[in-house]
Structure 1
Amino acid sequence: MLILYSYPELFGVADNNGYGLKVFAYLKIAGVPFEHRHILDASAAPRGQLPYIVDGSEIVGDSDAIIAHVARRYGADLDSQLTDMQRKLGLMLRRTLDDLYWVMSYSRWKDDAFWPAFSAALLAQHPSLSMADLERARSFNANRYYFQGIGRFEPRDAYARGIADLQAIASFIPDDGFLFGEQPSSADAALYGFIANIYFYPIETPLRQCVMEERRLVHHCEAVHAMAMG
């Protein structure tokens, strides 16, 4: 059976990282059986990043590569009915989510206003963790943010960037159905992976405040969540 390795759950969300949750949702919606193993140490993962899958003798990292593998191997292509333009729009959406990722992560690990609530939630849900573990991870992430660039932003400016991403995405969601029709696609799984990791977290960051104000983001997130967790 296919095994998905990804970060642990938090606040009832199956993975507290948008990329792992994206793969989880895709597998669930596509009806592909899998075992989900939650880990924190990514040293054994391809390129040292989660999520990754083990499928027989194959090990596949990167969320988009995993989805492509699943679509090919299991005939579970949620994008089979999309037009070429819709596929390209899906790619643009995923790239916008890549930008949003950094602001989301910044809100958890860097911003002193929200770090206490986030770290306390991790410690409460995962007793094997210690505060020393989290402080090491926080220091590691601070270096990542600095070299990526978001770590050089003041919080107000960082959140302005993420809010602009969220508002642009919200304008793209139809009033009814999913992004490209009545059935969800890989783009819907990707969007859910990130929005659920904001919406279901009871930590009132500016990103969550924005999501709560965008009815279409909330509706879409709840619809995909029901399919993925049902």
Structure 2
Amino acid sequence: MITLITFAPSFGQPAASPFCIKAIWLLNMSGLAWTREDTADPRSMPKQKLPAIRVNDQIIPDSENIRSYLESQGADFDAGLSDMEKSTSRAFIRMAEEHMYFHVVMDRWGDDDVWPIIRDTYFAAIPKLLRGMITNKLRQTLMRGMHAQGLGRFTPQERLDRLEADLQAITTRLWHGPFLFGDRPTAADASVAAMLANMRATPGKTLMKMRIAEDEILCRYIDRASDAMNQPVSAASATLCA
């Protein structure tokens, strides 16, 4: 049995992190049996991040490593895709995980109106008297990292302008079908839709959150992906899909 170690659900999503949601959706699509174990503290994990899976006595960290493990067990998340489509899929995954993700971070950790909600949700296990002091240090460290990364130097409007081309690329792909590469979700949807879902679920009314929430095409896509991938696929169905 595979055990997914993940952050708990928050803001209407199956986990606080889009990478944890991606792992949940990949596990469901794999057709393999699994269970989940929620934690708020990833420091004992090999990379000190979540998600991770436990298989027997082995811990496999990182959503991309989880995908590789599931594929080694027979899962084929890109069944039926051409080599060109698989290349495009890889680019969409990197766009979501190496660019769009940092916009989520800035919206949740960098916005002074949103941060108190994030703090009290993510760090509820820390006693309230200590929570502010501990989390403020974490926030300062993270924001220094975002400044070094680059997005931390931009205003919210500048960030939204930078993100717009990504959203347009996703919308263009969706003119081809209900999912990025046709009639059923693939690995790219597990990354892209999870990221969009987290953007839309962010508390408050940030510019980015409202851009997603007011886009009918993207909202319908998020909802389709969530409906399709939140439910486990039977092993027999997964074999047929592959």
TM range (shorter): 0.7 to 0.9
Amino acid at match of 2:144: N
Return 5+ residue gaps in structure 1 as ranges. Answer: none
8 Å contact from structure 1 (residues 53, 66) kept in 2: yes
2:235 is matched with which residue? none
CA separation of 1:77/1:160 partners in 2, compared to 1, >3 Å: closer, same or farther?
same
- The yes-or-no answer on 1:172 pairing with 2:173 is yes
1:196 is matched with which residue? 197
8 Å contact from structure 1 (residues 60, 66) kept in 2: yes
Percent identity between the two aligned chains: 26
- After TM superposition, the structure 1 = structure 2 runs for residues 127-206 of structure 1, keeping only pairs within 5 Å, are 127-129=124-126, 130=128, 131-132=131-132, 133-174=134-175, 176-206=177-207
TM-score by length of 2: 0.84
8 Å contact from structure 2 (residues 156, 207) kept in 1: no
**What SS does the corresponding residue of 1:184 show, helix, strand or coil?**
coil
CA separation of 1:171/1:142 partners in 2, compared to 1, >3 Å: closer, same or farther?
same
**What SS does the corresponding residue of 1:27 show, helix, strand or coil?**
helix
CA separation of 1:40/1:216 partners in 2, compared to 1, >3 Å: closer, same or farther?
same
1:70 is matched with which residue? 70
1:21 is matched with which residue? 21
1:114 is matched with which residue? 114
8 Å contact from structure 2 (residues 108, 202) kept in 1: no
TM-score by length of 1: 0.88
- After TM superposition, the structure 1 = structure 2 runs for residues 27-46 of structure 1, keeping only pairs within 5 Å, are 27-46=27-46
- Measure the CA separation in 1 of the matches of 2:124 and 2:47: 28
Shift, 1:113, TM fit: 3.6
8 Å contact from structure 1 (residues 166, 210) kept in 2: no
Shift, 1:221, TM fit: 0.8
**What SS does the corresponding residue of 1:47 show, helix, strand or coil?**
coil
Amino acid at match of 1:9: P
Shift, 1:81, TM fit: 1.8
Shift, 1:202, TM fit: 4.6
Return 5+ residue gaps in structure 2 as ranges. Answer: 232-242
**What SS does the corresponding residue of 2:69 show, helix, strand or coil?**
helix
Runs of 4+ in structure 1 over 4 Å off: none
1:47 is matched with which residue? 47
Number of aligned residue pairs: 226
1:7 is matched with which residue? 7
**What SS does the corresponding residue of 2:174 show, helix, strand or coil?**
coil
Larger radius of gyration: 2
**What SS does the corresponding residue of 2:3 show, helix, strand or coil?**
strand
Shift, 1:117, TM fit: 3.8
Q: CA RMSD in A?
A: 2.1
1:225 is matched with which residue? 226
